[in-house]
Amino acid sequence: MRKLAVYALGGNALQPPKTDSSTSAEVLARVMSDVIDLLEMDWSVIITHGNGPQVGHLMELDHESIHSLESWVAATQGMIGHDISMNLQAILQRRLRPERTAVILTRVVVDGNDPAFATPTKPVGPILDSKTVMSADWDIAQTIHGPRRVVASPKPIQILELDVIRKLVELQAVVICGGGGGVPVVDHDGHHVGVPAVIDKDLLSSRLAIDLKADALIISTDADAVYSGFGTPDAKAIRQLSLAEAEAMDDAGAFPAGSMAPKVKALCSYVDSMNEGQAIFCTPGSVLDALRGEGGTTFTVS
C-alpha cells in the first residue's frame, strides 16, 4: 500500500505578509514541488490549507455583514482549493501521472460550549495599522508579524466528510480538503448548523491524519523550523524535538498562541497517537530534506 501524507499549508504561506519578499505564486510553486516529490516517492497526498489572511480580507469587504464567518470559511475553501487544484492538475497532466485532484468542502463538528468561544485567539485578516487597532470593535492580538484580528478557535471533534476523503484517496486522488480548518458546525436538534468561528487548520490536519492513520503529518509554513531562542541573536534551528522537549518549551512560553502553539500541539498530538508516523514542521519546497532529517523539525516520541 502507498504511504499517506497529510500536507498542511499555512494561509500566510499562500498569501505572505507584507514583510515577506516571497510572492504567493512562488510559494505555490514550491508547494507543488513538494507534492510532486511525494507522489514520485509513491506517497498518496492530502492537502489542507489555512485561510486566515484570505477570510479576513473577504470579511473586510463585507461591510454590511451579509455573510456569516463560517460562510466565508466555506468560500475560501473553494477559492484556495480551486487555485491549488488547477495548478497541481496541470502539472500532473504534463507529467502523465495517473493522479487527479479533488476539492472537498469540509465540515467539522465542534462543541458549542467550547471555552474557545469566550477567549478568541485565532488570527484572521491582514496586519492591522495603528489607526485600525485603536478604532476597530474587534478582538485584536499581537502576532509575530504584527497586530491582527482574532476570533474563536474551537477544537475539531469530527470530520463529517472523512469517509468521502478516504475513498477519494483510494481512487488515487490528491485530495484538497479541510480548508481553513473546515467549516465549523454544531449539532442542533439532530442536524448541523454553522457557528461563527475558525478552527485551527493544524489541529484539524492532525485530527485528519490520526483518523486516517496517515504515515506522515507535514506542517508547511513560512518558518523553516522550530527554533530555540527564536527572535534572539542566539536563535538555533531544532532538527529533532521530543514530546517532552516541546512541552517544556511550550510551558516556558516559546510558542505564541494562535501561531506556533497550535502547530506544535498538532504535531505532538499526532506523534502521541501514531508512534511510527513522521511529524514534520518545514517550509514549502523542503519536504524531501525534512523527511531525511536534513531540514525542518521532526517531532519524536522521545
Q: Any idea which residues carry the catalytic annotation?
A: 11-12, 122, 201, 263
Of the CA atoms within 13 Å of residue 129, those in its CB half-sphere come to: 1
The residue among 103, 120, 105 whose CA lies nearest residue 46 is: 103
Residue type at position 31: V
The label of the residue with cell 477544537 reads: 155
CB 121 within 8 A of CB 257: yes
3-class SS letters over 35-96? HHHHHHCCEEEEEEECCHHHHHHHHHHCCCCCCCHHHHHHHHHHHHHHHHHHHHHHHHHHCC
Rounded Cα gap, residues 89 and 189, in angstroms? 41
The residue among 71, 30, 29 whose CA lies nearest residue 51 is: 71
CB 51 within 8 A of CB 11: yes
Q: What does the radius of gyration of the chain's CA atoms come to, in whole angstroms?
A: 18
Task: Enumerate residues 6+ apart whose C-beta is below 8 A from 6.
Answer: 46, 48, 205, 208, 209, 212, 214, 216, 217, 218
CB 122 within 8 A of CB 180: no
CB 263 within 8 A of CB 205: no
Residue type at position 226: V
Helices (H) and strands (E) in the chain, counts: 10, 17
